[in-house]
Amino acid sequence: MKVSIGKGFRAQIKQDSAQQAYVFEVIEVASSAPNELQFEKTFLLDVVFTICKDDVPLQPVALANNYMKSSLVMSDTFYISAIINGVTTDITTFKDPNATITAVNDTSATAKGYYTLLVSD
């Protein structure tokens, strides 16, 4: 299936009386938000949707709860944090998809081992 912003996808199991079987299918449904990809399921088993680009998996979306949508917001703003020596940095926000992110030892901090993420365009 082709994925684009503003689409929704539903995993469901339908009864096929002609085949006397249950059929699993993923169908496209309307998204309630124009800047989101939305995913839902209508049965008890867990489902994992995997978003790929050029046949390379990029992002799994796991659903465990029935009829509860899971959304991925698609915007031009990126958020990143890093785990360095077991410590998570603050979240850094940026807009340039080609930006370079550098972890720098923050010597102004009162304790050793603090890092700051710097964004350079």
Render pLDDT for 50-96 as a digit per residue (tens, 0 to 9). Answer: 988 888 888 889 998 888 888 888 778 888 999 888 888 889 999 88
Going by pLDDT thresholds of 50, 70 and 90, the confidence category of residue 40 is very high
What average pLDDT does the segment 27-45 reach? 90
| Whether pTM exceeds 0.95 | no
Distance from chain centroid for Cα 19: 36
Going by pLDDT thresholds of 50, 70 and 90, the confidence category of residue 101 is very high
Question: What mean pLDDT, rounded, does the chain reach?
Answer: 87
44-47, long-range: CB within 8 Å, 24+ apart, which pairs? 47/11
d(CA 9, CA 82): 31
More confident position, 114 or 41: 41
What pLDDT score does 20 carry? 92
